[in-house]
Structure 1
Amino acid sequence: MNLAEQPEQSAALSAQRLVESPTLARPTLVCLSHLRWGFVYQRPQHVMSRLAKDYDVIFFEEPVLAGDEPPRLEASSPADGIEVWVPRLPEGMSAQAINEAQRQLLDERLAQRLPGDLLLWYFTPMSLAFTDHLQAQVTVFDCMDELSAFMGAPAQLVDMERLLMARADVVFTGGVSLWEVKQRQHGNAHPVPSSVDIAHFAQARDAVVEPADQASIARPRLGFFGVIDERFDIELVDQVAALRPDWQIVLVGPVVKIDPQTLPRRPNIHYLGARQYAELPAYLSGWDVALMPFALNASTRFISPTKTPEYLAGGCPVVSTAIRDVVNGYGHSGAVFIADTPQAFVSAIEGALHLKGTPDFLKRVDAALEGMSWDNTSRFMKEQIECLR
């Protein structure tokens, strides 16, 4: 049944019966995300794949606008208990029509499910525009980042976040500095910094087969994996490469929202592109120092980079700019070194080059990571939900 064949009101009423009927099925958790499941494997995928053990997770992505076919939902199941729903909409639709189409597509599909409790999990406040009619048993706002500070953020995002804050039963933040702001806006906010799959990245501590595109690169190697966007300090990387042309800088990840032509081009800077999550330990194993060259600007003011514990779990020393959550969380660990200028970055790297794999360094790393795991993080989040059900 397509959009034209079923009135929107009927679909909405059917979807609402999901929360009004007696519980006959596992709770349905609809996760509304601005990040795609198949993009970079990070917090949304880690958390949702673990919550899927107890809830039926529907990962609802932002729409894809292409062609002129009628609106439809494309569904896939990338992991047990996870369904990814992608709205496919024709080009040229207005913002209001896009929201109306998403609302109806979601209602229709939810109405086909067995009655049961409905949970809503927002990674983006913008999704409230087509879900504000749903009365979930629990509404979660997982505020990973201060999205309004990111390049290309919608003008109405701040207002939408204010509305979501008023509706949310619980708010999680991606780091402590962001929590310090959001806890003044919501009485049930919790700092939940992104965690790490230690066993996965600890593979980098052992001898592994070098990826072919990295094997031929000389050493010492300084590495970065992650999204290369407006948060990345292009000038810092360029100047470090210029100061030490004998060092090789390996950058693994997609280039997003910035012109690739603006990236520095030097013989000792190597752009390897995006790689799968499963491949990252093999790259990390071949680095002598891991880098976090983030620019200090509005888009990085509240970030708490997931890659900090991932690098450390792989047994690699880290040199970072002065990101507040990194300084406060790891600055005294003896495993992460903070520098703000190209010259200071070079000095910090020089001091870190001899640390990788040494027993004392690994002891400091393990102490810094003690108790951290995505299992523990997801368990805490689930406990907050269950307390509200």
Structure 2
Amino acid sequence: MNLAEQPEQSPILTAQNVVELSPQLRPTLVCLSHLRWGFVFQRPQHVMSRLAKNYDVIFFEEPVISPGDTPWLDTSTPAEGIQVVVPHMPEGLSPEAVVQAQRSLLDQLLAGRAQGELLLWYFTPMSLAFTDHLDAQVTVYDCMDELSAFKGAPAQLIDMERLLMGRADVVFTGGVSLWEVKQRQHGNAYPVPSSVDIAHFAVARQALSEPSDQAPIARPRLGFFGVIDERFDIELIEQVAQRRADWQIVLVGPVVKIDPQTLPRRPNIHYLGAKQYAELPAYLSGWDVALMPFALNASTRFISPTKTPEYLAGGCPVVSTPIHDVISGYGQSGAVFIAGTAEAFIEAIERALGLKGTDEFLQKANAAIEGMSWDNTCRFMKEQIECLR
């Protein structure tokens, strides 16, 4: 189910009759995030950038260790209406002291602001440890992933999520399969899969100037952009590259939580590193097939990859491993090919090669993402908030 297929959830408030908030009454929305604003531009940035049109957003990141004896806040304004806040902690503080320091710093920050109502938006339940005393008009839990299944997840995360579920007024999930689990834990939960900025990626359907690090790479090119971590199927990429040495595999994105030395190294595998969100269409424009080589493990059981609609908006056929939400959302689209083994993955790529730019494929890609947009997604989320205020 994508957002365009959501049933009417609220007879009280619809996208057409939401009353825009007066600037004098703008609530303060504190967003507690485990992902940094300056990391990969994804769901938190898309959502908060749009909600900042009506709310004063404080994007409160996880703490970093820095020299000094006193905790302090580093603040910046990367976009209108958004204040990014990074707590800096002296080395050697106990976990309890770090929690108390964050509580105190956030309280001081809020006390120094002329604010209307307070809204809390959690991307991570762990932030409840230093915000459980705040009296929010609305508390949102945006469960974009099953974080407890990720490598390095805190042992107490499951218990913290249980507490947050008890406090949240509304729960959003990053995909349908995750909603199927969380809706049994909360009576006001909605599947809100990540969406796509179609206009941003649609320019990739044109022949754009090649980025300098991709231009020398031969074709055909099979591309991936995103975080390369424990969800990435290293062995699958190794097998594809080994069996089809004439195919060039282009991997764009940061390597995190895994040892880079474990990644396959072959002449036809190209690691181009992290890129800015604005640069991605230029890379996508030069690919023949887009890949989603996710491993099938606990960390990918409930994922709903944002890159699926991004690839399609860019006019590129997609080959994916059998991720549940990809199968249910795109498996019958004719624009996304699903393959569960290395042999099947290679065969799917062979079928996908040559489709890019054809009228038939573009019609299928357009149909698969029809009605999807971050504007629609955020409008739906805002409706739920306004119904609770």
For 1:137 and 1:74, the matched residues in 2 are separated by 26
Deviation per residue, 1:351-382 (Å, 9 max, x gap): 00010000010000000111000000000000
For 2:148 and 2:66, the matched residues in 1 are separated by 26
- Write out aligned runs for 1:9-28 (5 A): 25-28=25-28
Give the equivalent residue in structure 1 for 2:384. 384
Deviation per residue, 1:54-106 (Å, 9 max, x gap): 00000000001122341111000000100000001111111100000000000
For the 8 Å contact 2:28–2:115, the answer to whether it is kept is no
Aligned partner of 2:179: which letter?
W
Please state if 1:227 is matched with 2:197: no
For 2:353 and 2:24, the matched residues in 1 are separated by 58
For 2:282 and 2:164, the matched residues in 1 are separated by 40
Give the equivalent residue in structure 2 for 1:363. 363
For the 8 Å contact 1:290–1:311, the answer to whether it is kept is yes
For 2:264 and 2:203, the matched residues in 1 are separated by 31
- Write out aligned runs for 1:57-68 (5 A): 57-68=57-68
- Write out aligned runs for 1:33-48 (5 A): 33-48=33-48
Give the equivalent residue in structure 2 for 1:180. 180
Give the equivalent residue in structure 1 for 2:372. 372
Judged with a 3 Å threshold, the aligned counterparts in structure 2 of structure 1 residues 115 and 276 are, in CA distance, closer, same or farther, namely: closer
Give the equivalent residue in structure 2 for 1:89. 89
Q: CA RMSD in A?
A: 0.8
Give the equivalent residue in structure 1 for 2:321. 321
- Write out aligned runs for 1:329-340 (5 A): 329-340=329-340
In the alignment of these two chains, the number of paired residues is: 367
> Which 5+ residue runs of structure 2 have no aligned equivalent?
1-22
Q: Secondary structure at the match of 2:270?
A: strand
Q: Secondary structure at the match of 1:215?
A: coil
For 1:373 and 1:69, the matched residues in 2 are separated by 46
Q: Which runs of 4+ in 1 moved over 4 A?
A: none
For 1:314 and 1:24, the matched residues in 2 are separated by 40
Task: State the Cα distance separating 1:135 from its structure 2 match.
Answer: 1.0
For 1:24 and 1:92, the matched residues in 2 are separated by 43
Aligned partner of 2:321: which letter?
T
Task: State the Cα distance separating 1:245 from its structure 2 match.
Answer: 0.2
Aligned partner of 1:276: which letter?
Q
For 2:140 and 2:103, the matched residues in 1 are separated by 19
Aligned partner of 1:67: which letter?
P
For 2:115 and 2:310, the matched residues in 1 are separated by 40
Aligned partner of 1:126: which letter?
M
Judged with a 3 Å threshold, the aligned counterparts in structure 2 of structure 1 residues 315 and 24 are, in CA distance, closer, same or farther, namely: closer
> Which 5+ residue runs of structure 1 have no aligned equivalent?
1-22
For 2:114 and 2:340, the matched residues in 1 are separated by 55
For 1:346 and 1:353, the matched residues in 2 are separated by 11
Give the equivalent residue in structure 2 for 1:278. 278
Aligned partner of 2:328: which letter?
N
Give the equivalent residue in structure 2 for 1:299. 299
For the 8 Å contact 1:289–1:353, the answer to whether it is kept is yes
Q: Secondary structure at the match of 1:212?
A: coil
For 2:69 and 2:333, the matched residues in 1 are separated by 55
Give the equivalent residue in structure 2 for 1:156. 156
For 1:107 and 1:68, the matched residues in 2 are separated by 21
For 2:91 and 2:256, the matched residues in 1 are separated by 22
Task: State the Cα distance separating 1:24 from its structure 2 match.
Answer: 5.5
For the 8 Å contact 1:25–1:114, the answer to whether it is kept is no
Aligned partner of 1:105: which letter?
L
For normalisation by structure 1, the TM-score amounts to 0.94
Aligned partner of 1:54: which letter?
N
For 1:93 and 1:293, the matched residues in 2 are separated by 40
Deviation per residue, 1:288-338 (Å, 9 max, x gap): 000000000000000000000000000000000000000000000000000
- Aligned residues with identical type, % of pairs: 81
For the 8 Å contact 1:222–1:287, the answer to whether it is kept is yes
Give the equivalent residue in structure 2 for 1:6. none
For 2:28 and 2:273, the matched residues in 1 are separated by 36
Deviation per residue, 1:164-189 (Å, 9 max, x gap): 00000000000000000000000000
Judged with a 3 Å threshold, the aligned counterparts in structure 2 of structure 1 residues 281 and 115 are, in CA distance, closer, same or farther, namely: closer
